[in-house]
Amino acid sequence: MINLLPPNLPYFICITLLLIGLYTMIIKKSLIKKIMGLNIFSTSVFLFLISMAYRRGGAPPIKAEGVELYVNPLPHALVLTGIVVALALTSFALILVINIYKEHKTLDSEKLTKL
């Protein structure tokens, strides 16, 4: 079977997602959009780590006869930990946004910096 996708396609996707997340965090004024940009940014980092662990023709990291090339399991464990941390960070940020909105009746970051 001929593989029509270039081997470095995941890296281009990572860079694209990273730039979209960074743009959203810097340019957008709404705090909710900034949190969404942070999540897109962290997803690009997770995709990059998983892409780095992939080895063409590699087997799962289980000792077997005749297998010499294994996929690195460490980035997968780091990504699982990162997903949990990102979920906790997002939950905490959304709780802060709710409290900010209750207090100041706005989510515009420029208006909040003037207060």
76: CATH: 1.10.287.3510
pLDDT of amino acid 107? 93
**Domain containing residue 67:** 9-114
- 2 falls within a domain: no
pLDDT of amino acid 43? 96
- 3 falls within a domain: no
Q: Which residues contact 89 (CB under 8 A, 6 or more apart)?
A: 38
Token readout for 75 is 């980035």
- 34 falls within a domain: yes
Adjacent-strand bridge partners of 59: 70
CB atoms within 10 A of CB 53: 17
- 1 falls within a domain: no
pLDDT of amino acid 4? 75
Q: State how many domains the chain has.
A: 1
Say what percent of the chain tops pLDDT 70: 98
- 4 falls within a domain: no
* Phi, psi for 70 (deg, rounded to 5): -115, 155
Instruction: Please identify every stretch of the chain with a pLDDT value under 50, giving residue numbers as ranges.
Output: none
- 95 falls within a domain: yes
45 in Cβ contact with 18 (< 8 Å): yes
pLDDT of amino acid 7? 80
- 106 falls within a domain: yes
